[in-house]
Structure 1
Amino acid sequence: MLSEDLQTPRTAQPATTGDDPLLRLQQETQPAGDNTGLRATTHPEEIRITGIAVMCPQCGARRDWMVICDRNEISIRCRCAHQWVERELTRADYMAMIGEGIGQDYPSLEAAAQAAGYDGALAGAYLS
């Protein structure tokens, strides 16, 4: 028969102090208060990355872009509907490019491209 004083009580898990690397990573990759998955804006001027002007590899366009922020991945889309992920750009670059409160939220990439004229229907046109 076991007596009460021979049983060892269970220890509680220590409360996290904010030094949890997993929580820090989640906070860094998901900005507070921003649950937007897909955000897009148009950019009529040239985009220069490390001093080199971006050029569409399909049609050769050098300006009039749709810049897409899909969580933490930035893509550039041309009017010819060619799109690529631009690894040199970050979400912070996107936010600096559009400014606070500018840009449009869309339910899907297809809706964003069609609404802004980057679905291929205006291929070869510069609208600025």
Structure 2
Amino acid sequence: MFHRIRRRRAAETSELQHRSYEAYQRMAGQVPPEVERLRTTQQPTEPAPAVDDFLPPELRVPSHDQLDGRMMPWTQPIILDGEVVACAECGAYRDWLILSTRDQIWLRCRQGHQQRETRLDTAWYNRHAGPADAHHATFEDCLRHLGH
């Protein structure tokens, strides 16, 4: 009994598909009259002049390839693997500058001691860094800008 129902449904489906395909074939070459009317009323225009759509130089931001590195302030303690990261020389554990350069992350304490942090990577830095608010020509200018 169920095989008869399945055959009947399959036949109904194929008939519906066949009718849909025939309707599609009839409409395939037709164009709506509104489109034809618009084509006849439109006049060919001159091509638009090529315009430099790039930002002016003062608004352009250098790409990561053009920068020697980036840095951001980090006032909270950094906890990695359940351990508070402290400066190896003075023991400071907060108020860091985090430097990202050449796919390495460096931590700089307020006293100016720097240590490489291998447990952090550039992806971590990119997730936590906000947009750059300034670009500096030298490392010292950047330190001054960030108050270190």
Structure 2 length-normalised TM: 0.51
Give the corresponding residue for 1:34: 64
Report the Cα offset of residue 102 of structure 1: 4.3
Label 1:73 to 1:104 Cα distance change in 2 as closer, same or farther (>3 A). farther
1:30-69 mapped onto 2 (5 Å cutoff)? 33-35=63-65, 36-69=67-100
Which structure features the higher share of strand residues?
A: 1
The letter for the 2-side match of 1:68 is: L
Counterpart for residue 146 of structure 2: 116
- Cα RMSD over matched residues? 1.9
Check conservation: 1:40, 1:104, Cα contact below 8 A: no
Query: Comparing both chains, which one has the higher relative contact order based on Cα–Cα distances under 8 Å and sequence gaps of 6 or more?
Result: 1
Across the two proteins, how many residue pairs are aligned to each other? 85
Higher helix share: 2
One-letter amino acid matched to 1:87: T
Q: Flag the 1:103–1:54 CA change in 2: closer, same or farther, 3 A.
A: farther
Q: State the structure with more CA Rg.
A: 2
Partner residue in 1 for 2:116? 85
Corresponding residue SS for 2:97: strand
Unaligned ranges ≥5, structure 2? 1-62
| TM-score, normalising length: structure 1 | 0.58
- Which AA in structure 2 matches 1:111? D
Q: Could you say if the C-alpha distance between residues 102 and 65 of structure 1 is closer, same or farther in structure 2, counting changes exceeding 3 Å?
A: same
Residue identity (%): 29
Residues 1:106 and 2:102 are matched in the alignment: no
With over 3 angstroms needed to count, the CA separation of the structure-2 counterparts of 1:75 and 1:69, relative to structure 1, is same
- Supply the distance in 1 between the matched residues of 2:72 and 2:102 (Cα, whole angstroms): 14
What stretches of structure 1 of length at least 5 have no aligned partner?
A: 1-32, 119-128
